[in-house]
Amino acid sequence: MLTAAWSQAQGLTLKEAVDLAKVHNVNFTNKKIDVSISEHEKQQLIAAVLPTIEASSTTLFRDSSSVQNSFTENQQHTALLKLEQPLFKGGAGYYGLQIAKALPKIAELELRQNEQDLSISVSESFFAVLRQERDITYTAEQLSLLRERIADIRKRIQIGRSKKTDLLSLESSLSRVQSQFNASQSELLDTQRQLRSLLGPQSVLTLKEPATAYQELPNNWEQLLSETPQIKAQELLLSRLHYEQKSARSEYLPEVNLTGNYYLDRAGVLADSKWDVSLEASWQIFSGGASRADNQIKSLEVQKQTNILAETKRSLFDWYATKIRVLTKRQEELRGLEDALRLANDNYLEHRKELNAGLVSSLDVLRALEDLLEVKKALNQKNYEIQNLSAQLRIRLGLAL
């Protein structure tokens, strides 16, 4: 676990934030427990085809009888070891083993799916905090410049080079921007709370900017997407339902079981017989329609899961292809905003020069400053949108952050 001192000195990267969330998130912890549970459920299904050995001891007490023989003794004791082995259940044993093998795999895939969902939630909150922190920095910069302009205007009013209305406009803008600054700080506290709820209540939210704004996605993303835990888990679940369907059909076939007894102590005329073996075969002819209903249910469940799998694939591939197109557009917008920022900065600096020459008013300079700030905020937001979207796309492919 990261210490507060380390976080303050180095800053928390997105990957480290995700690792921290996996330690504190209850749903992720419970999914890990589900993996362990699935291993035990697998063992339960395997046990159904393995032999069972049972030791038993029976003592019989009966009232005296006028007929005296080995079957009417007042007390009889029997002690034995009993072995039962199912030999054939219409194939249900084989299908049960296949179902057993799938259980831990499905649980592991669901754990990985939960990890991806958690990582995306952390990414959204992580970049939201960074964006709001940068916005607050820009707003603080605007406040500082406004105060400088107000102090300068007051001096210019004293020598008759500016009007008092210019001062009032600047002071009004200062109050408005100060209100925005306070609102941004309040919004940041709420966003930090959301991130802290993912990382743990003791987390120190000093975040580190990513080294690059965008990481290239592999060209074979469609192949990687088909191997994601979301799809693989649905495919395994469908395979499991197919085996359950075949297992249900086995109810129409005969069942054969082997039972062997080894007697440690035995009463009556068979006291000298140490063992016996019985082979039992049964065939269910009619069960009131229960077997047929069970088969119909399993068939419908297979059909339902087939539809779910097809929809999952379609939805996921469509989501990913759309997000890639969105990412391309966001990058184009970012390049346009970078040009706009350069021009807005030049415009503001030129207005300050022209103000000193008396060519523009203080309000003109104020508008140029506000335009510069708006472009900075828009560029800042677009930059973090790209980083967040890029991170989400890599997470869905199972790639390193």
Distances (CA, A) of 309 to 98, 226, 242: 20, 11, 14
Q: Please give the Cα distance from 284 to 286 (Å, whole number).
A: 6
Residues 6+ apart with CB under 8 A from 383: 213, 334
Model confidence band, residue 213 (pLDDT cutoffs 50, 70, 90): low
Residue 69: per-residue pLDDT: 58
The predicted model gives 179-201 an average pLDDT of 92
Range of weakest confidence among 78-82, 112-116, 287-291, 298-302: 287-291
Neighbours of 202 (CB within 10 A): 10
Residue 211: DSSP 8-state: S
Q: Please give the Cα distance from 396 to 107 (Å, whole number).
A: 18
> Contact at 8 Å (CB) between 42 and 104?
yes
Q: Please give the Cα distance from 61 to 77 (Å, whole number).
A: 9
Q: Please give the Cα distance from 182 to 229 (Å, whole number).
A: 43
Higher pLDDT pick, 173 / 55 = 55
Strands 75-88 and 255-265: antiparallel
What is the pTM assigned to this prediction?
0.82
Terminal CA-to-CA distance of the chain, rounded, Å?
19
The predicted model gives 196-219 an average pLDDT of 81
> Contact at 8 Å (CB) between 126 and 157?
no
Residue 7: per-residue pLDDT: 41
Chain-centre distance for alpha carbon 201 = 20
Angle formed by the axes of helices 92-158 and 164-199, nearest 10°: 160
Q: What share of the chain in percent tops pLDDT 70?
A: 95
> Contact at 8 Å (CB) between 62 and 77?
no
One-character DSSP codes across 58-81 = EEEE----SS-STTS-SEEEEEEE
For the record, the structure tokens of 318 come out as: 């469509």
Whether the per-residue pLDDT at 163 is higher than 90: the answer is no
Would you call 140 helix, strand, or coil by DSSP?
A: helix
Whether the per-residue pLDDT at 65 is higher than 70: the answer is no
Segment 6-20, tens digit of pLDDT: 344 468 999 999 999
User: What DSSP element (H or E) covers 264?
Assistant: strand 255-265
Whether the per-residue pLDDT at 363 is higher than 90: the answer is no
Distances (CA, A) of 387 to 5, 128, 382: 27, 11, 9
Burial class (CB in 10 A: 0-12, 13-18, 19+), 18: buried
One-character DSSP codes across 307-332 = HHHHHHHHHHHHHHHHHHHHHHHHHH
Whether the per-residue pLDDT at 3 is higher than 70: the answer is no
Give me the chain's average pLDDT, please: 88
> Contact at 8 Å (CB) between 135 and 180?
no
Model confidence band, residue 168 (pLDDT cutoffs 50, 70, 90): confident
User: Does the CA dihedral 296-298-299-305 come out positive or negative?
Assistant: positive
Whether the per-residue pLDDT at 197 is higher than 50: the answer is yes
Residue 62: per-residue pLDDT: 76
The predicted model gives 298-317 an average pLDDT of 95
For the record, the structure tokens of 47 come out as: 């046990």
Burial class (CB in 10 A: 0-12, 13-18, 19+), 232: middle
Would you call 333 helix, strand, or coil by DSSP?
A: helix
For the record, the structure tokens of 266 come out as: 């035995």
Q: What share of the chain in percent tops pLDDT 90?
A: 57
Which phi and psi angles does 83 have, rounded to 5°? Answer: -115, 130
Residue 2: per-residue pLDDT: 35
Residue 4: per-residue pLDDT: 35
Burial class (CB in 10 A: 0-12, 13-18, 19+), 74: exposed
